[in-house]
């Protein structure tokens, strides 16, 4: 059974901070509960008060600007993201990723903000959003700030968020001309065994620059600048791409992967190499469509 707690449902950000204050810090922000209630049930966490953020309007909604930059409220559910016309149009890789998160019940209740704030090392969105140079907006009683995904997630289940701060929104930049972004994973269970997010920019038929992020191998999602550099210069043609991926795959082969119930370190590195090829191919296709 879930340990006893009091429940508060603020209707504004100001009320949420007031509820935090009233609880004397012995509290947790709560939205979908797909992670939080699970760890409370297992006895790993206990709080005097849960502060339900689902009725705080400042934390909801998805919007896009004219260029296609997205702003996704922290309490938007995975299911809302996978169906959002804005996301489907401007960042189809995220909609596709969200369609494959856990199962439909988790997607109906779990939120993007909660996923990032929980910082599970196998998070799907964290890995892809890292490759997309997404930024998160935080707010606290002391004011607002924003940061990159790798500034937010600093360890397994660990973020740089202050206890009294909360995630407000996630911002994903508009794709540049010739840019494509894609994500590939393999999952045997609810969370991926390995996952790769890729951003490429194609200029004159070749990859001009790229970002490669890898999730589920180490205790947090990581960007591998050397892998991105190894993709630069490759021709944006499927057959030639496959032949030229060796150097980037070799970079992934050096990752100090953590063996887990999904497989050995060697196996997970192998998976990451395969997934890199799939993600690059998809990203290049999208980039050519944006050229």
Listed in order, strand segments (DSSP E) in the chain are 6-8, 27-30, 49-52, 62-64, 70-73, 135-140, 143-148, 153-155, 158-159, 166-172, 179-186, 194-203, 206-215, 222-223
Please give the Cα distance from 167 to 155 (Å, whole number): 17
Q: Are 34 and 114 in contact (CB under 8 A)?
A: yes
Q: How far is the CB of 121 from other proteins (least distance, A)?
A: 18
- Considering only 51, 106, 119, 213, the residue that binds other proteins (CB under 8 A) is 106
- Identify the H or E element spanning 271: helix 265-290
Q: How far is the CB of 9 from other proteins (least distance, A)?
A: 8
* Pairing between β-strand 153-155 and β-strand 158-159 as defined by DSSP bridges: antiparallel
- Restricted to residues 23-62, the positions that interact with other proteins (CB under 8 A) are 33-34, 37-38, 41, 48, 50, 52, 54
Task: Give yes or no for residue 123 binding other proteins (CB under 8 A).
Answer: no
Q: Kindly state the number of chain residues that form the binding site for other proteins, as judged by CB under 8 A.
A: 25
Pick 6 or 174: Cβ nearer other proteins: 6
Q: Which of 134, 130, 161, 135 is nearest to 147 (CA)?
A: 135
- Restricted to residues 164-203, the positions that interact with other proteins (CB under 8 A) are 190
Pick 106 or 198: Cβ nearer other proteins: 106
Task: Give yes or no for residue 115 binding other proteins (CB under 8 A).
Answer: no
Task: Give yes or no for residue 3 binding other proteins (CB under 8 A).
Answer: yes
* Pairing between β-strand 222-223 and β-strand 206-215 as defined by DSSP bridges: antiparallel
Residues of the shown chain interacting with other proteins in the complex, contacts defined by CB under 8 A: 1-7, 33-34, 37-38, 41, 48, 50, 52, 54, 79, 102-106, 108-109, 190
């Amino acid at each position: 059974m879930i340990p006893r707690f009091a429940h508060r449902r603020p209707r504004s950000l100001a009320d949420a901070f007031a509820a935090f204050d009233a609880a004397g810090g012995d509290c947790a922000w709560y939205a979908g509960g797909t992670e939080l209630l699970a760890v409370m049930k297992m006895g790993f966490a206990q709080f005097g008060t849960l502060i339900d953020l689902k009725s705080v309007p400042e934390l909801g909604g998805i919007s896009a600007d004219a260029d296609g930059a997205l702003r996704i409220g922290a309490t938007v559910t995975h299911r809302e993201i996978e169906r959002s016309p804005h996301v489907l149009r401007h960042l189809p890789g995220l909609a596709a990723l969200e369609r494959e998160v856990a199962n439909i019940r988790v997607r109906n209740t779990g939120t993007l903000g909660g996923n990032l704030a929980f910082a599970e090392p196998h998070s799907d969105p964290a890995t892809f959003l890292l490759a997309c140079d997404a930024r998160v907006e935080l707010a606290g009683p002391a004011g607002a700030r924003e940061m990159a995904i790798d500034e937010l997630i600093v360890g397994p289940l660990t973020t740089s968020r202050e206890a009294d701060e909360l995630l407000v929104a996630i911002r994903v930049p508009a794709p540049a001309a010739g840019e494509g972004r894609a994500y590939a994973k393999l999952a045997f269970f609810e969370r991926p065994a390995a996952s790769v997010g890729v951003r490429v920019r194609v200029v004159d038929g070749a990859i001009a620059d790229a970002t490669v992020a890898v999730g589920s191998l180490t205790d947090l999602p990581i960007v591998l600048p050397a892998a991105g550099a190894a993709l630069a210069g490759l021709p944006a043609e499927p057959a030639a791409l496959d032949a030229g991926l060796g150097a980037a795959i070799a970079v992934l082969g050096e990752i100090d992967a953590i063996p887990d119930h999904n497989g050995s370190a060697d196996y997970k590195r192998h998976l990451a190499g395969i997934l890199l090829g799939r993600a690059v191919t998809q990203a290049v296709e999208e980039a050519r469509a944006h050229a």
